[in-house]
Chains A and B, each alone.
Chain A
Amino acid sequence: NAGVTQTPKFQVLKTGQSMTLQCAQDMNHEYMSWYRQDPGMGLRLIHYSVGAGITDQGEVPNGYNVSRSTTEDFPLRLLSAAPSQTSVYFCASSSRTGQTSPLHFGNGTRLTVT
């Protein structure tokens, strides 16, 4: 199993550009989520999904969209990039057993917005 795969690993955008961060998992996990990690602020939840067709907002959803058309994929879209979105983005998944299972993280995407 590859686990959770994120692409790209690095990305530089100009202010106002849009892009999609890809996330795929091959563990048949129902729960998937996106976090951003900034120095001194830990991991903050952007959006999450408890199954195909179901998404919900996390702590910092503004400026980001998600969709979950399949169990395997959970892309994160930046609509109009801003310098404040410079961060490391992690996708994570978990088997949905009463939300008592650990998160499996991808290797992250380092995004810089200039």
Chain B
Amino acid sequence: GENVEQHPSTLSVQEGDSAVIKCTYSDSASNYFPWYKQELGKRPQLIIDIRSNVGEKKDQRIAVTLNKTAKHFSLHITETQPEDSAVYFCAAGYQKVTFGIGTKLQVIP
């Protein structure tokens, strides 16, 4: 099955700085790589995703990059704001969608 590794597990940044979270996956059959944001006490919600035929995707301050050869993908958040503070999960997998362990991002005002 799929194995997804995510790091770092915690990340503190000053407001306005950038944050980068990285994930690696093991199953070369995986072709869809979503990122979810989970605020405290809430459900995970999709913030951005990328498919295997694309190398990079941007949505305002958020971007995701994918390197299929190396089997890794990354989330980039620029100009971080306090409301970006949350836990972020990457995921991969064909039918068994596997999540990374999560990254707790703290944006310090």
Interface residues of chain A, those whose CB is within 8 Å of chain B, are: 31, 33, 35, 40-45, 48, 50, 56, 58-59, 90, 98-103, 105-108
Q: Most chain-A Cβ atoms within 10 A of its Cβ — which of B36, B94, B99, B100?
A: B99
The residue that B1 contacts in the complex, of A33, A59, A100, A102, with Cβ under 8 A, is A59
- Contact of B51 with A by CB under 8 A: yes
Report whether B46 and A59 are in contact in the complex, using a CB–CB cutoff of 8 Å. no
Measured between beta carbons, the chain A residues less than 8 angstroms from B14 are none
Measured between beta carbons, the chain A residues less than 8 angstroms from B91 are 103
Q: Interface code B5-49, partner A: CB below 8 Å = 1, 0 otherwise?
A: 010000000000000000000000001101010000011111001
For the residues of A in contact with B, the DSSP-based class is loop
Given A42-B102, A90-B43, A108-B43: A103 in contact with B97 (beta carbons within 8 A): yes
In chain A, what residue has the closest Cβ to B51? Answer: A100
Within the complex, the shortest CB–CB distance from B83 to chain A, in Å, comes to 20
- Contact of B61 with A by CB under 8 A: no
8 closest residue pairs by CB, A with B: A100-B32, A105-B43, A102-B46, A43-B99, A42-B101, A42-B99, A42-B102, A102-B34
Interface residues in B, total, Cβ within 8 A: 25
Report whether B45 and A105 are in contact in the complex, using a CB–CB cutoff of 8 Å. yes
Measured between beta carbons, the chain A residues less than 8 angstroms from B102 are 42
Report whether B99 and A99 are in contact in the complex, using a CB–CB cutoff of 8 Å. no
- Contact of B98 with A by CB under 8 A: yes
Report whether A56 and B95 are in contact in the complex, using a CB–CB cutoff of 8 Å. yes
Q: Most chain-A Cβ atoms within 10 A of its Cβ — which of B34, B46, B96?
A: B96
The residue that A103 contacts in the complex, of B46, B51, B101, with Cβ under 8 A, is B46
Report whether A107 and B99 are in contact in the complex, using a CB–CB cutoff of 8 Å. no
Q: How distant is the Cα of A63 from the Cα of B73 in the complex, in angstroms?
A: 34
The residue that A99 contacts in the complex, of B32, B45, B98, with Cβ under 8 A, is B32
Q: A42-B89, A100-B51 are in contact. List 12 more A-B contacts (CB 8 A).
A: A42-B99, A42-B101, A43-B89, A43-B99, A44-B99, A45-B97, A48-B97, A59-B96, A99-B32, A100-B31, A101-B32, A102-B49
